[in-house]
Amino acid sequence: MSNVSEKDLVGHRRINSYRTIWISDVHLGTAGCKAEILLDFLRHNESETLYLVGDIIDLWALKRCIYFPQSHNDVVQKILRKARKGTRVLYLPGNHDELVRAFLFEYTQDLLSFHLGGIEVINETVHETADGKQLLVLHGDQFDGFLKCAKWISHLGDRLYTLALKLNTYYNALRRRFKRPYWSLSAYLKFKVKRAVQYINNFEELVAAEARHRCVDGVVCGHIHHPEMRTIDGVLYCNDGDWVESCTALVEHFDGRLEVIHWVPDEAVPASTRPAPRGAADTGSSSALSTGPGAALSTGHSPASSNGSSRGSSPASALAGTRIL
């Protein structure tokens, strides 16, 4: 896993160290945001560079209703504190925080970058891993046909998704009373509706094609709330997931190895009851369960074991939560 020493044990809890961490689709300002779990992740995982890959603050939701509890403010303060203490933090706006992107365009004219509170705000960038891979980093909404052709459908989808999350909350509260594991309504619907599956496939292929066009080795994005790491026609496609249902991040180890982390804090559902990563059983990718407080279920990437055709189809093997916007 990560580089850990005895001095990294704070309050008897292990602090993991990585070269790079990518997170996206936090949606602060919505009731569905798992801010407490993200805060636990940020407290127990350090990195030299932290990428915020869009939809960090949900300005769409805040326009409708002001909702920003203390836990959401704590996440913002924790990220700012990391920047003050030396972590390089880069913020790449998405569609739900597109006003930041509009500000970036209006005041820089060239969509390069500006700094805010020690955080570098940039539209997109290329990250070089420790082993020399070039990875295009962007949110991914640029490749969403609904956003480009019929933005009202995305806003409607956002409201329907919020409703689904509320129904999911009540249903899982009932399941917990009967000591049943967490079940994701959106993940179930995603794999039952063929158009949703096709949307995900098309999105992944479009993003990978853009990376190939730019002559880079891979791409890191978010947007569709579907954590994934696979090779598509020779291009490494990585999606860091979300913090609404999946609670996932993409990390780079100090040797350049990439891994999707599914964060399970002490108070959350035990890792043994979490859905298995899609394709873990049929692609040969390694899965390991970390022990101790703040354990994470991790899926590593091996170039030899990933290919464009290795995809699972069972809802039980899917990661929770995909927003189709």
Query: What residue ranges define each of the domains in the chain, with the CATH number in brackets?
Result: 6-317 (3.60.21.10)
Q: How far apart are CA 54 and CA 270, in angstroms?
A: 28
Q: pLDDT value at position 114?
A: 81
Counting other chains too, the contacts that 269-275 makes at CB distance below 8 Å and 24 or more residues apart are 269/181, 269/182, 271/295, 271/296, 271/297, 273/181, 273/182, 274/182, 275/184, 275/187, 275/316, 275/317, 275/318, 275/319, 275/320
> In 3D, which of 311, 281, 274, 280 has the Cα closest to residue 191?
311
Q: pLDDT value at position 109?
A: 58
Q: Is 195 exposed, middle or buried (0-12, 13-18, 19+ CB in 10 A)?
A: exposed
Tens of pLDDT, residues 17-45:
999 999 999 999 998 899 999 999 999 99
Q: pLDDT value at position 45?
A: 97
Q: pLDDT value at position 58?
A: 92
Q: pLDDT: is 219 or 95 the higher one? A: 219
The band of 122, judged by pLDDT with boundaries at 50, 70 and 90, is: very high
* Model confidence at 316: pLDDT above 50: no
pTM over 0.85: no
The band of 89, judged by pLDDT with boundaries at 50, 70 and 90, is: very high
Tens of pLDDT, residues 263-287:
987 643 333 444 444 433 333 333 3
Q: pLDDT: is 141 or 289 the higher one? A: 141
> In 3D, which of 248, 270, 260 has the Cα closest to residue 298?
260
